[in-house]
Structure 1
Amino acid sequence: MTEKRRRLSRDDWVAAALAALAEGGMGAVAIEPLAARLGATKGSAYWHFANRDELLRAALQHWEFDETDAVIALVSAEPDPTVGLRTLLGTALSHPQANVAVMLAGVNDPLVEPVLTRVTNRRIDYLAELFTRLGFTGDAARHRATLAYSAYLGTGQLWRTAPGALPADSGAWDSYMDEVWKALTATE
């Protein structure tokens, strides 16, 4: 008796494309290897997407929503900007690996680069808004936002390439985050 395959959804293909992008870069987002990974036929992909570029666009749209729009909405619901920014930084810095991998994978790709530019600008703008709500003005808020985002990208790269450089236990991590917080919010 043969086992009946589960019909894959559009979301299954999008998730597989994002995982492949995070793990192997742009070259890993190809229909045939993704089909093998999912135990499916290429026809399943083409049922949902006209081609690889359409799949990639859908994956990037999903990534942008989950990793930017939804996060901003969640943090914006917090009335205290100190709590919101501290929560955002703690969460983003503790697990940036896959997110940063997606960002690094698409540099110089004509489909991905405009999305990365939009996401980066939106994130820095939102961070600047939070720093403004904390009392920093103009350039100071923007510079701190850029520094915070740089810390995020750098931490993601360290998690991927040199995880031993980052604090390993929760107490050391909390101490590290306190120092990051002090550096970003110091007034002198």
Structure 2
Amino acid sequence: MNEPLIEKTSGWRGTRELWIQAAYGALLETGIDAVKVMPLAERMGLSRTSFYGHFSDRKDLLDALIQLWQSKNTGNLIRRTEAYAETITEAILNVFDLWLLPDLFDSRLEFAVRNWAHSDARLAAMLEEADIIRVEALQSMFERFGYDTVHASVRANTVYQTQIGYISMKKDGPSDPLAPRLERMRTYAEIFAGQPVTDAEAARFFARHPVNET
């Protein structure tokens, strides 16, 4: 039997954020079928009743997970496409920060949500909408640097579908060695942009993602 994840005091019902984090952990570890009130209550060392002090029902909790995914992954992707850059290659490297920093883009959550969407038609529609919004943000980024609509669209889809493919295949994840990933990203940026990354741009990118040699 799992030990409770938190220490409880008499009468304490936990917090909404702790319930969401417990649900998040269960979703990543086992899938959406594990996100149920009683197993989560046992996992947290709380009573089932305490759940209803923060959520109306299980759907309310699932909606909170979806909102977390939308805010973190879609919201941060849009913000990175709009980040300051002097060239398209620098802009692409800004986007690549997402694939290296889980605090910006949670690849494990993305994978779990995509699996969940196979059994939830409502979420599948939301995922399709998110894909469209993300690609449009990437396309706008390319257009900002002078690419025509057709080329911007194709390049945006290529950037996005390449990374989603990696996520679906569980490749180039946080557990993979960082140095070769970084070197590939410079080449990817050049391919996606159709022009080389300057040494100064590469240096700034690598400085944001130092390799721990120990």
TM-score between both structures, scaled by the size of structure 2: 0.73
Spell out the pairing of 1:133-152 with structure 2 (5 A cutoff).
Answer: 133-152=144-163
Q: Could you tell me whether the CA contact under 8 Å between 2:73 and 2:110 is conserved in 1?
A: yes
1:163 CA displacement: 6.0
Q: Could you tell me whether the CA contact under 8 Å between 2:118 and 2:124 is conserved in 1?
A: yes
Q: Could you tell me whether the CA contact under 8 Å between 1:20 and 1:28 is conserved in 2?
A: yes
Structure with a larger share of its residues in helix: 1
Spell out the pairing of 1:151-166 with structure 2 (5 A cutoff).
Answer: 151-159=162-170
Q: Could you tell me whether the CA contact under 8 Å between 2:89 and 2:193 is conserved in 1?
A: no
Residue 112 (1) aligns with residue 158 (2): no
Code of the residue aligned with 1:107 in structure 2: it is H
Separation in 2 of the partners of 1:60 and 1:167? 25
> Which secondary structure state, in structure 2, belongs to the residue aligned with residue 112 of structure 1?
helix
Deviates more, 1:103-112 or 1:57-66: 103-112
Other-structure match for 1:78: 84
RMSD between superposed Cα atoms in Å = 2.8
Separation in 1 of the partners of 2:166 and 2:100? 6
* Structure 1 segments unaligned to the other structure (5+ residues): none
**Count of matched residue pairs:** 183
Q: 1:64 to 1:167 in 2, by over 3 A?
A: closer
Other-structure match for 2:109: 98
Q: 1:102 to 1:125 in 2, by over 3 A?
A: same
Other-structure match for 1:17: 23
1:110 CA displacement: 2.8
Separation in 2 of the partners of 1:145 and 1:56? 30
Other-structure match for 2:194: 186
1:127 CA displacement: 0.8
Q: 1:89 to 1:31 in 2, by over 3 A?
A: same
TM-score between both structures, scaled by the size of structure 1: 0.82
> Which secondary structure state, in structure 1, belongs to the residue aligned with residue 154 of structure 2?
helix
Other-structure match for 1:8: 14
Q: Could you tell me whether the CA contact under 8 Å between 1:72 and 1:126 is conserved in 2?
A: yes
Separation in 2 of the partners of 1:128 and 1:154? 18
Q: 1:150 to 1:94 in 2, by over 3 A?
A: farther
Percent of counterpart pairs with the same letter?
26
Q: Could you tell me whether the CA contact under 8 Å between 1:22 and 1:99 is conserved in 2?
A: no
Other-structure match for 2:137: 126
Code of the residue aligned with 2:185 in structure 1: it is M
